[in-house]
């Protein structure tokens, strides 16, 4: 294969976790493993009493201290640097793969916000209003925290490499930071997986 590892990034409702599950099932016979940052953090939050499963709706990164967030994120980067056959899915996995060789960085988006909201409503069993507010609040809180936490890494991995100007605002989901961008509004889950596999296998 052309790449040693894969990252999948996407905002809530984009389909990134669905893609991880499909790829993990498809590639496990070839020795690939999958890791979801969101699932890991959710399990940790339940264990620590930060999050109640019956609440349904997901929480923002502000619930974790900086050291824990950093430990999990840099642990993913270490896997990308020193291991192979990992599929890592999280909001930041593509950013954490910047300047790491042989990583296929996939950005999953959905150009229709109404569809994205509907997916979250169905997944979390909440109202449209609740889903919209939660998605907005989580995005603002997470971006603020990670922009503060990873300002130096942004400059080192993204600005210095010439991908963005120093004056550009931090945006971890800029399409030009990724090798493959897929819009799941116009690409169903099977088509999305096949697009990734074609690039991964250099077909």
What pLDDT, on a 0 to 100 scale, did the predictor assign at position 134? 86
CATH of region 5-200: 3.40.50.300
What pLDDT, on a 0 to 100 scale, did the predictor assign at position 123? 85
Instruction: Output Rg (C-alpha) for the chain, integer angstroms.
Output: 16
pLDDT in tens, the chain (203 residues): 889 999 999 998 999 999 999 999 999 999 999 999 877 666 655 665 655 555 555 555 556 788 888 888 998 999 999 999 999 999 999 999 999 999 999 999 999 999 999 998 888 888 899 888 888 998 999 999 999 999 999 999 999 999 999 999 999 999 999 999 999 999 999 999 999 999 999 87
Q: Is the pTM of this model over 0.85?
A: yes
Residue of 73, 70, 1, 81 whose CA lies nearest to 35: 73
What pLDDT, on a 0 to 100 scale, did the predictor assign at position 92? 95
What pLDDT, on a 0 to 100 scale, did the predictor assign at position 144? 95
Domain ranges of the chain: 5-200
Q: Answer yes or no: are the C-beta atoms of 139 and 60 closer than 8 Å.
A: no
In the chain, what's the furthest Cα-to-Cα distance? 46
Compute CA distances 12 → 69, 76, 80, 103, 134, whole Å: 18, 20, 23, 23, 10
Go through 94-120 and write b for each residue having 16 or more CB atoms within 10 A of its CB, e for each that does not: bbbbbebeebbbbbbbbeeeeebbebb
Positive or negative torsion for Cα 23, 24, 25, 28: positive
Residue of 200, 192, 202, 203 whose CA lies nearest to 4: 200
């Amino acid at each position: 294969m052309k790449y040693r590892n894969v990252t999948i990034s996407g905002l809530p409702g984009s389909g990134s976790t669905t893609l991880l599950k499909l790829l993990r099932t498809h590639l496990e016979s070839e020795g690939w493993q999958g890791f979801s940052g969101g699932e890991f953090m959710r399990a940790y939050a339940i264990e620590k009493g930060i999050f109640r499963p019956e609440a349904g709706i997901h929480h923002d990164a502000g619930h974790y201290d900086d050291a824990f967030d950093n430990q999990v994120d840099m642990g993913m980067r270490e896997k990308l640097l020193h291991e192979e056959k990992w599929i890592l899915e999280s909001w930041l996995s593509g950013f954490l793969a910047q300047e790491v060789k042989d990583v296929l960085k996939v950005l999953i988006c959905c150009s229709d916000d109404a569809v994205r909201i509907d997916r979250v409503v169905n997944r979390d069993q909440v109202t449209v209003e609740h889903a919209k507010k939660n998605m907005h609040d989580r995005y603002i809180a997470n971006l603020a925290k990670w922009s503060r936490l990873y300002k130096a890494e942004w400059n080192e991995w993204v600005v210095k490499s010439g991908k963005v100007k120093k004056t550009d605002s931090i945006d971890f989901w800029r399409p030009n930071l990724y090798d493959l961008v897929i819009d799941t509004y116009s690409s169903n889950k099977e088509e999305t997986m096949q697009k990734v596999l074609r690039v991964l296998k250099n077909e």
